[in-house]
């Protein structure tokens, strides 16, 4: 018999492998940390249609449609993406599935790359669908396979919850054989199941309640909810990655490891609690398991000890248990100097934020690399809430403050975010006679999550390319007749056009267009150089905020020191210098000194 292969895989890669082995036909996603790599990994497996959608709601609906058609389908997204997909999620639990449907969600404790720390386990209970929680990459692969079986057996979508550290950590995975090709069984019309008119919704709600009962009974038999008996003085109930921390911190104590965090295996929990002196519940983020355990009439001795903010670690758990109080999250390692995230040297955002900070306006921001415009030196963004929120927020401020903010409100949004959830608010701006200006940062990619394709650049997840959507025409079709495109590397033009847009008596859109430097790096033919004599130390060049501009002391003046390993020669600092002390200089290829070449040794 052939030995099973073991591969070192991240949680995200293992999820993709599980989907492949389960015979998934369609996989969809919208990029978002920590789950972006799932679809990227899926797209490298044969036989799967991997699709980036414009947002998580559409991604969910595509996967649901594939499931209705009898194919196995998977959709993955970050935790806040599940909020966007919540509408079809809640209703699809009523319709149920045809082919298995697994929904992977990545939570982000410590908000490593997110605007909140929401605990997506609440969605399982609120929408009434089962949730599986792996603790390592092996379980990520295994529980995806199990999730498809569960989905088809109980006629329900199944949530699989990961957290950032699990998504990105690598552990060994015993993989299975490539699957036999699966043919989608086809869509069978079933009016009462798939057409959620009010009467049918009630019929399906009855079916849903019966299913929840069956799922709860099944949870007591599922082997992913398992007991590890050790010292009986304390029994710890845990799930997900917290299980690994618990095992490390308390290797001597008994543990009930839940692979399914909703619905819970009530009998297994009662049996476990009856055999230990004290029950502790250790979980990351909200007391989701704890509340359910207490609802079973079980006293939880660890109540109030476990931190609810930030990622857990074995040390933090140990300290919290020792102190019987949640220990605060340590922000960074004090032995390592802090380093704020920065915009890349020579990025287009440097130009537009320099222009914006010169004008001085209120800016409602959005989610993307450009969110960093909220930091020093520009301090250019006043609010950031969620994907697509900037335009609506600006309109709300405008309607609340009227003339007091006329000509002084700007919404900033990236091309991918505009297509994700910015078009509706833009339409509202027109419909409600708004006058705010919208600045679209068009860098032809979804940059922050790693250069994924989107409808603006025409790139698909499977590597096909085609014409992207014409943003000017799209925006014009929404009823905005004042649309200008600027070259963000021309500081004077950017400032002038933005001022004109803000003065326009009606909604105006400025598109700042230049490719992300990681996507299409311009050949660096010149770099900024300083004339020390001409520099007065006025500091204007520092306002560009380029990481290639360091500081040096020049006889008591603080002057720029250009880091030529980083400078890409965008000339923004050159344009900002009122003294002409910074000048672009062409790069001269290194001359090879012929006489320094080693003399070749003749072959023996
Ligand atoms: S030219 Fe100036 S602003 Fe542009 S990359 Fe070089 S140092 Fe930075
Ligand atoms: S803007 Fe020009 S003069 Fe002012 S500090 Fe920079 S290089 Fe010197």
The atom of ligand 1 lying closest to the CA of 350 is: 3
Q: Are residues 10 and 112 in the same domain?
A: yes
Mean pLDDT, residues 77-94:
97
The average pLDDT across 516-541 equals 89
Cβ of 562 closer than 6 Å to ligand 1, yes or no, is yes
Handedness of CA 70, 72, 77, 82 (dihedral sign): positive
E strand intervals along 193-307: 225-228, 231-239, 253-258, 260-262, 278-282
Q: Kindly report the CA angle at 516 between 588 and 339, in degrees rounded to 5?
A: 85
- The arithmetic mean of pLDDT across residues 242-271, rounded, is 98
CB burial of 50-62 (b: ≥16 within 10 Å; e: otherwise) equals bbbbbbbbbbbbb
pLDDT for 293 beyond 60: yes
Q: How high is the pLDDT of residue 406?
A: 87
**Residue where a domain terminates, one of 172, 199, 219:** 219
How many Å apart are CA 52 and CA 30, to the nearest integer? 6
Checking if the pLDDT of 599 tops 70, the result is no
CB-CB contact of 72 with 98 (8 Å): no
Q: How far apart are CA 90 and CA 423, in angstroms?
A: 24
Residue with tokens 């020792």: 322
CA dihedral for 452, 455, 461, 463, sign (positive or negative): negative
Q: Are 185 and 202 in the same domain? A: yes
Q: Which ligand is nearest to the CA of 544?
A: 1
What confidence score (pLDDT) does residue 593 get?
38
- Angstrom distances, CA of residue 441 to CA of 242, 321, 370, 456: 39, 48, 8, 12
pLDDT of residue 592: 36
In this predicted structure, what is the pLDDT of residue 4? Answer: 76
Ligand nearest to the CA of 582: 2
Radius of gyration of the CA atoms of the chain, in A: 28
Please state, in angstroms and rounded to a whole number, the distance separating the CA atoms of residues 94 and 128: 9
For residue 186, how many other CB atoms are within 10 A of its CB? 10
Confirm whether 165 is domain-assigned.
yes
CATH number at residue 236: 3.40.50.920
Inside any domain, residue 334? no
Average pLDDT over residues 521-529: 82
Q: Choose among 308, 272, 314, 270: nearest CA to 288.
A: 308
**Nearest ligand for residue 576 CA:** 2
Position 457 scores a pLDDT of 83
Residue among 534, 535, 546, 549 whose CB has most ligand 2 atoms within 8 A, to mutate: 535
Q: Is the CB of 332 under 6 A from ligand 2?
A: no
CATH number for 575: 3.30.70.20
- 547 in Cβ contact with 375 (< 8 Å): no
Asked if 360 and 249 sit in the same domain, the reply is no
Cα 438 to ligand 1 centroid, rounded to whole Å: 26
For 554-575, b where at least 16 C-beta lie within 10 A, e where not — what string?
A: beeeebbebeeeebbbbbbbbb
CA distance 459 to 451: 10
Single out the residue in 219, 245, 263 at which a domain terminates. 219
Which is the closest atom of ligand 2 to the Cα of 559? 5
**Is residue 144 pLDDT above 80, yes or no?**
yes
Distance CA 364, CA 372 (A): 13
pLDDT at 93 over 70: yes
Domain co-membership, 481 together with 572: no
Helix 86-95 to helix 56-68 angle, to the nearest 10 degrees?
20
- Does ligand 2 come within 6 angstroms of the Cβ of 508? no
Residues 6+ apart with CB under 8 A from 339: none
Mean pLDDT confidence for 490-513: 97
pLDDT above 60 for 582: yes
In angstroms, what is the span from residue 542 Cα to ligand 2's centroid?
8
pLDDT of the residue at 521 = 67
pLDDT band at 564 (very low <50, low <70, confident <90, very high): very high
CB 451 within 8 A of CB 516: yes
**Structure-token pair, residue 399:** 């309607």
The whole domain housing 293 covers 225-323
Q: Does residue 485 sit in the same domain as residue 539?
A: no
Which protein residue's CA is at the shortest distance from atom 4 of ligand 2? 538
CA atoms of 414 and 432, how far apart (whole Å) = 22
Considering the domain architecture, whether residues 59 and 11 belong to the same structural domain is answered as yes
pLDDT top residue among 332 and 212: 212
pLDDT at 518: 86
Q: What is the pLDDT of residue 589?
A: 52
Average pLDDT, the chain: 93
For position 522, what pLDDT does the model report? 66
Residue 597 has pLDDT above 60, yes or no: no
Is 599 inside a domain boundary?
no
Q: Is the minimum distance from the CB of 382 to ligand 2 under 6 angstroms?
A: no
pLDDT at position 604 is 35
Q: Is 575 in the pocket of ligand 2 (CB under 6 A)?
A: no
On whether both 189 and 286 belong to a single domain, the answer is no
The rounded percent of the chain whose pLDDT value lies above 90 is 84
Residues near 213 by beta carbon (within 8 Å), at least 6 away in sequence: none
Task: Examine the domain organization and report whether 410 and 294 are in the same domain.
Answer: no
User: Which ligand neighbours the alpha carbon of 530 most closely?
Assistant: 2
Final residue of a structural domain among 172, 197, 219: 219
Q: How confident is the model at residue 594 (pLDDT cuts 50, 70, 90)?
A: very low
* DSSP string over 301-344: TTTTTS-SSS---HHHHHHHHHHTSPPPPP-S-TTS------PP
Provide the CATH number for the domain around residue 130: 3.40.50.970
Q: How far apart are CA 303 and CA 280, in angstroms?
A: 8
pLDDT top residue among 457 and 198 = 198
pLDDT of 596 strictly over 60: no
Q: Is the pLDDT at 253 greater than 50, yes or no?
A: yes
Range picked from 231-240, 336-345, 366-375 for highest mean pLDDT: 231-240
d(CA 278, CA 236): 8
Q: Quick check: 314 pLDDT over 50?
A: yes
Shortest-distance Cα residue to atom 2 of ligand 1: 573
Percent of the chain with pLDDT over 70: 96
Handedness of CA 104, 110, 114, 116 (dihedral sign): positive
Nearest ligand (C-alpha, residue 568): 1
pLDDT in tens, 424-468: 999 999 999 999 999 999 988 888 888 888 888 888 888 888 888
Q: Is 539 in the pocket of ligand 2 (CB under 6 A)?
A: yes
C-beta separation of 206 from 96 below 8 A: no
- What CA dihedral angle connects 133, 138, 142 and 147, to 10 degrees? 30
Per-residue pLDDT, 68:
98
| Overall number of domains in the chain | 4
Count how many residues are written for the chain: 604
Mean pLDDT value across residues 386-404? 94
Peptide bond into 34 cis (omega under 30): yes
Ligand 1 site-directed mutation target among 522, 543, 573, most atoms within 8 Å of CB: 573
Specify the pLDDT at position 150. Answer: 98
Q: Which of 83-87, 110-114, 343-347, 351-355 has the lowest mean pLDDT?
A: 110-114
Torsion (CA) 500, 504, 507, 513 in degrees, nearest 10: -10
Residues 41 and 108 in one domain: yes
231-239 and 278-282 beta bridge pairing: parallel
Together in a domain, 241 and 319: yes
Asked whether residue 304 is assigned to any structural domain, the reply reads: yes
C-alpha to C-alpha distance for 418 and 421, rounded to whole angstroms = 6
* Residue 211, in any domain of the structure: yes
Residue 280: pLDDT over 60:
yes
Judge whether 468 lies within some domain. yes
Give the residue, by CA position, lying nearest to ligand 2 atom 2: 577
* Lowest mean per-residue pLDDT among 174-188, 197-211, 445-459, 587-601: 587-601
Burial of 320 per CB tally in 10 Å (0-12, 13-18, 19+): buried
Residue 547 CA to ligand 1 center (angstroms) comes to 8
pLDDT of residue 450: 81
Nearest one of 328, 330, 309 to 320, comparing CA atoms: 328
* Residue 463, domain member (yes or no): yes
- Check whether residue 537 and residue 500 sit in a common domain: no
Residue 330 lies in a domain: no
pLDDT at 1: 52
Q: What pLDDT score does 595 carry?
A: 38
Work out the average pLDDT over 360-377.
93
Distance CA 469, CA 454 (A): 9
Q: Do 69 and 195 have their domain in common?
A: yes
Of 426, 422, 390, which is closest to residue 507 (Cα–Cα)?
426
């Amino acid at each position: 018999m052939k030995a099973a292969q073991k591969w070192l895989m991240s949680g995200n890669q293992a999820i993709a492998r599980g989907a492949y082995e389960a015979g998934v036909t369609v996989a969809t996603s919208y990029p978002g940390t920590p789950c972006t790599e799932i679809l990227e990994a899926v797209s490298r497996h044969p036989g799967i249609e991997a699709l980036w959608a414009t947002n998580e709601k559409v991604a969910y609906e595509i996967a649901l449609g594939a499931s209705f058609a009898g194919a196995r389908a998977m959709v993955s997204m970050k935790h806040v993406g599940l909020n966007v997909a919540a509408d079809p999620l809640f209703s699809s639990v009523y319709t149920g599935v045809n082919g298995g449907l697994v929904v992977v969600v990545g939570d982000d404790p410590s908000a490593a790359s997110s605007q909140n720390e929401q605990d997506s386990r609440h969605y399982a209970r609120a929408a009434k669908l089962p949730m599986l929680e792996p603790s390592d990459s092996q379980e990520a692969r295994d529980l995806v396979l199990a999730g498809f079986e569960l989905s088809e057996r109980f006629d329900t979508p199944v949530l699989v919850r990961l957290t950032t550290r699990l998504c990105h950590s690598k552990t060994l995975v015993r993989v299975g054989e490539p699957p036999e090709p699966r043919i989608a069984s086809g869509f069978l019309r079933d009016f009462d199941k798939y057409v959620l008119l009010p009467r049918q919704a009630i019929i399906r709600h009855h079916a849903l309640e019966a299913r929840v009962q069956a799922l709860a009974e099944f949870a007591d038999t599922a082997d992913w909810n398992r007991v590890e008996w050790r010292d009986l003085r304390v029994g710890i109930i845990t799930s997900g990655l917290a299980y690994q921390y618990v095992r490390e911190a308390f290797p001597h104590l008994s543990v009930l490891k839940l692979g399914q965090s909703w619905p819970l295996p009530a009998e297994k929990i009662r049996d476990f609690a009856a055999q230990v002196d004290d029950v502790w519940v250790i979980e990351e983020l909200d007391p989701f398991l704890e509340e359910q355990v207490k609802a079973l009439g079980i006293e939880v001795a660890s109540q109030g000890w476990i931190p609810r903010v930030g990622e857990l670690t074995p040390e933090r758990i140990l300290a919290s248990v020792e102190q019987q109080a949640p220990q605060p999250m340590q922000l960074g390692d004090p032995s390592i100097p802090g380093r704020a995230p920065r915009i890349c040297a020579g990025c287009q955002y440097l130009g537009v934020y320099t222009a914006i900070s010169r004008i001085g306006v209120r800016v409602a921001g959005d989610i993307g690399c450009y969110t960093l415009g909220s930091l020093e030196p520009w301090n250019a963004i006043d609010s950031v809430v969620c994907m697509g929120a900037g335009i609506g927020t600006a309109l709300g401020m405008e309607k609340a403050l009227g003339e007091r903010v006329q000509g002084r409100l700007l919404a900033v949004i990236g091309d991918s975010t505009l297509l994700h959830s910015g078009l509706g608010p833009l339409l509202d701006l027109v419909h409600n006679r708004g006058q705010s200006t919208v600045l679209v940062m068009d860098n032809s990619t979804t940059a922050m999550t790693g250069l994924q394709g989107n409808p603006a650049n025409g790139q698909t997840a499977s590597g096909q390319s085609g014409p992207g959507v014409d943003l000017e025409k799209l925006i014009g079709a929404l009823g905005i007749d004042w649309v200008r495109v600027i070259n963000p590397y021309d500081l004077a033009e950017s400032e002038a056009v933005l001022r004109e847009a803000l003065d326009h008596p009606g909604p105006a859109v400025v598109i700042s267009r230049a490719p992300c430097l990681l996507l299409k790096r311009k050949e660096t033919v010149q770099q900024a150089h300083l004339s020390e004599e001409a520099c007065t130390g006025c500091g204007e060049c520092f306002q560009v905020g380029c990481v290639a501009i360091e500081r040096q002391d020049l006889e008591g003046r603080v002057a720029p020191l250009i880091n030529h390993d980083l400078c890409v020669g965008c000339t923004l600092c050159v344009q900002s210098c009122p003294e002409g002390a910074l000048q672009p200089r062409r790069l001269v290829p290194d001359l090879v000194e012929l006489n320094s070449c080693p003399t070749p040794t003749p072959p023996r």
